[in-house]
Amino acid sequence: MLELRHVSFQVDAEGTEKEIVRDVSLKVPERKLIVVTGPNGGGKSTLARLIAGIEKPTGGQIFFNGEDITERNVTERARMGIAYAFQQPVRFKGIRVVDLIRIAAGKKVTAAAACEYLSAVGLCARDYVDREVNASLSGGELKRIEIATVLARHARLSVFDEPEAGIDLWSFRNLIDVFRNMRETIADSSILVISHQERILNIADEIIVIRDGRVEKQGSREEIYPSLGADSAEPPACDRLLQNMREGEDA
């Protein structure tokens, strides 16, 4: 489905070229949930933006369903079936939530159907479907609304950049079910998630570790996940809270 061949990305930082992504080659096959993880500043989010077409590689090629899309912009890639959820979602003053879902779907969506997408991401649909996507919404609310728009897209490839950021624990647990359902119900589609979270890593079909802009490890969850503990000094706060809850349930 998706293939990166020797992809690199450099920026000019105060007169010096800085290489953020370095000669990355990888494949995302159909009907797989791939999680990209690794240290902060390693190039993970940049890689996601390169796939979505927000940034353009300075080297290498990107293929989607066998077609070279390296020169395609973000709009063209979206039309081809690549959906992208930002780490920090965009606000759209003057647009209602239901309208945003309809735009994402590219077709007429009833208010009832829009409510189903909102409910899937843990929002009380009747409280949100007619709200404006503006500053009155919190970051976590915006994040969940954006994920709902990705669900409405039924894209061939859905890219999520740290989807857990800014959402509460209940919604995070619900998010795991959202990813599982997407993988199982959307035919010939794949999901690429940028995340550090234990629960998301645990449902991955494959894990890719990015460090210093390079692919350090890539393989099945069973191959890669056991080695990740040595790479992180402390689990993220959300994972610690989930662990505490599990220990409380076992007590």
Q: Which residues pair with 8 in a beta bridge?
A: 59
| Mean pLDDT, the chain, integer | 85
Bridge pairing between strands 33-37 and 16-28? unpaired
Cα angle for residues 224, 234, 183 (degrees, 5° grid)? 45
DSSP letters for 210-229: EETTEEEEEEEHHHHGGGTG
- From residue 122, alpha-carbon distances to 116, 147, 172, 248, 251 in Å are 10, 11, 9, 24, 28
Cα angle for residues 143, 148, 149 (degrees, 5° grid)? 100
Looking at per-residue confidence, does 213 or 16 come out higher?
A: 213
Q: What is the mean pLDDT of residues 65-87?
A: 93
Would the CA dihedral through 38, 39, 43, 48 be positive or negative? positive
- Distance, in Å, from the CA atom of 147 to the CA atom of 134, rounded to the nearest integer, reads 16
Global pTM reads: 0.83
Token pair recorded at residue 145: 């609304």
- Give me the domain span that covers residue 116: 2-250
Q: How many domains are contained in the chain? A: 1
Q: What is the mean pLDDT of residues 23-47?
A: 93
- Distance, in Å, from the CA atom of 52 to the CA atom of 13, rounded to the nearest integer, reads 23
- From residue 153, alpha-carbon distances to 64, 78, 130 in Å are 17, 9, 19
Q: Which residues pair with 76 in a beta bridge?
A: none
Contact 38, 211 (CB under 8 A): yes
| Residue 74: per-residue pLDDT | 94
Provide the CATH number for the domain around residue 67.
3.40.50.300
Note the pLDDT tens digit of each residue in 99-116: 999 999 988 889 899 999
Does pLDDT of 23 surpass 90? yes
Quote the percentage of the chain above a pLDDT of 70.
90
| Residue 250: per-residue pLDDT | 45
Note the pLDDT tens digit of each residue in 121-159: 888 888 899 999 888 888 778 888 888 999 899 899 999
Does pLDDT of 203 surpass 90? yes
Quote the percentage of the chain above a pLDDT of 90.
50
| Residue 229: per-residue pLDDT | 65
Would the CA dihedral through 27, 43, 204, 160 be positive or negative? negative
| Residue 237: per-residue pLDDT | 41
Angle between helices 139-153 and 169-185 (to 10 degrees): 10
Cα angle for residues 225, 179, 125 (degrees, 5° grid)? 145
- What does residue 248 show for φ and ψ, rounded to 5 degrees? -70, -35
